[in-house]
Each structure stands twice: as C-alpha cells, then as structure tokens.
Amino acid sequence: MPRKKIAAGNWKMNLSPNEGVKLTMNLIQGNRDPKTHVILAVPATHLSQIQDKLKYVSKIEVAAQNCHQKESGAFTGEISAPMLNSMGVKYVLVGHSERREYFGESNALLKEKIDIALKNKLKVIFCCGESLDIRKKKAHVKHVQKQLKESLLHLTAAQMKDVVIAYEPIWAIGTGETASPQQAQEMHLAIRKSLKKKYKSTADNVSILYGGSVKPANAKELFAMPDIDGGLVGGASLDAKGFGEIINSF
Ligand code: PGA
C-alpha cells in the first residue's frame, strides 16, 4: 500500500468560526487532486461546524490541535480524547512545538497524550523538530530521534498505522525560512530508519510530513523528495487559493 499523501492545514488560534467555514467551503469547491488527503487542524470551538460542512466530502478531514492526557476529570479548560472521538473527530495533533515551548509539554507527557488519543480511536499527527541552536550544533538528528524514542516508539506496529509524523524544524515555523528539500529529506530518512528498526515494513506506510513555512512556491520541490509525504502548513493554510495550490503540489 503506498503511503498517504497528506496536505494538513494548522489554523492555530486564527479565524472566527464563520471565517473558518468560508475557508472550508472554498476548499471544498476548489479543484482538488483527488489523491491528496486533506486534514484541517482547527480550533476546538470550530470543530463541529467545520465537521458538519465536511460530512459528505471525501478526503477532507478535521483534526483537533490538542487533547488532554487524561480521559476526564477536574482539568478546567481542557478537552479530552473521548470528547473529540464522540464528536466524530478523526485526528489530533500532538506535540506541536508551540505546545512544547509555551505550555511546557515534555516528551513524557506527549507519550501519555498519544496513548490516550489512540485508545480513543483518534489518529495522531505527532510533531517533532529541533531548534536553530540544536541544528547549529549538528545535533538535530539525535534530538528528533530522542523525541521519537521517548514519546512514540513504545507503540506496537498495529498502533503505528494510526500515526502520522510531522517533522517541523522550529527555526522554520512562521519565519519564512524553509528547510531545503535536502535538509528535510535527510531528517525524514533518519525518521524512517528509526521506525524501520522497530516496525520493519510498517515503517514504509507511515506518512511523514514536513512543516515550517511551506507555501505554494516551495511545496512542489519539498513533496518531490522520496521520504516527504506531504506538509503540515500553518500560515499558508489560512488562504484557500494558496492552500489549494499546496494540495495540488504532489
Ligand atoms: P508555518 O507553520 O507554515 O506558518 O511555518 C507550520 C506549523 O507550525 O505547523
């Protein structure tokens, strides 16, 4: 089975629900490569409205941007995996660098979130990536391998089938600076090798996305690399025309 080609948009904390619906409708009505799987990671407040618009649309799915590591309890302001599942949400982002940086999410905590998400039938988009400092020290591959080892590699091969990995170098997120296709491919191959060691042929079916200033102008050359199976797109996913071009860049 060939790996899924995925264009995932991460709206972060942007757009009103109405603006989100408008953007979604534009994407639905636009010309889309039917081979590309589109995932929209939208704010929790928008999930049900956007889901509703996508009810009869194939290959566009909704993701939550986060979930709590416990299934229920006294955690004011948080959202649980069972809640997302009961709404019909299919995916959840885990470990975005903004969650790691601003909300202190550690590899150990992310491991708990991954387990609770999978237990509740949510597919996980696991984000990893290094800071500029780490890259300058040439420790980037080791850093990402550690993130994988401490959060993800305890899963069984059957569980890995419900995981997508997004490599997002922090220095490229929202900065306009993109990793070169070669830099990204180097890391994606290293990630695939780490997966292969444990999961053998299952590793060939895991989609690995690149994230960090993906835009219409650079998506084609990134997605052409053998181990890059798509993108996790922040800023450029807020514009239907531009994101549409990214969707059609495979
Ligand atoms: P960006 O964000 O495309 O705006 O760099 C990517 C991300 O944070 O997922």
What stretch of H or E contains 126? strand 123-128
Count of other CB atoms within 10 angstroms of residue 248: 17
Distance, first Cα to last Cα, the chain: 17
Phi-psi region of 95 (alpha: psi -120 to 50; beta: other; left: phi over 0): left
Which range marks the domain in which residue 69 is found?
5-247
Q: Which among 66, 102, 233, 245 is the best mutation to test ligand 1's pocket, defined by most ligand atoms within 8 Å of the CB?
A: 233
* pLDDT at residue 177 in the model: 86
* pLDDT at residue 212 in the model: 96
* pLDDT at residue 122 in the model: 98
Nearest partner of 41 among 18, 4, 15, 68, judged by Cα: 15
Q: Which among 96, 214, 237, 249 is the best mutation to test ligand 1's pocket, defined by most ligand atoms within 8 Å of the CB?
A: 214
The values of phi and psi at residue 109, to 5°, are: -65, -40
Q: Which amino acid is at 33?
A: D
This prediction has a pTM of: 0.97
Residues near ligand 1 (Cβ within 6 A):
10, 168, 173-174, 211-214, 232-236
CATH (domain of 116): 3.20.20.70
* pLDDT at residue 1 in the model: 66
Atom of ligand 1 nearest to the CA of 166: 9
CA of 236 to the centre of ligand 1 (A): 8
CA of 235 to the centre of ligand 1 (A): 6
Q: Can you tell me the distance from the alpha carbon of 146 to that of 193, in angstroms, rounded to the nearest whole number?
A: 13
pLDDT tens digits for the chain (250 residues)? 689 999 999 999 999 999 999 999 999 999 999 999 999 999 999 999 999 999 999 999 999 999 999 999 999 999 999 999 999 999 999 999 999 999 999 999 999 999 999 999 999 999 999 999 999 999 999 999 999 999 999 999 999 999 999 999 999 998 988 999 999 999 999 999 999 999 999 999 999 999 999 999 999 999 999 999 999 999 999 999 999 999 999 9
What is the number of structural domains in the chain? 1
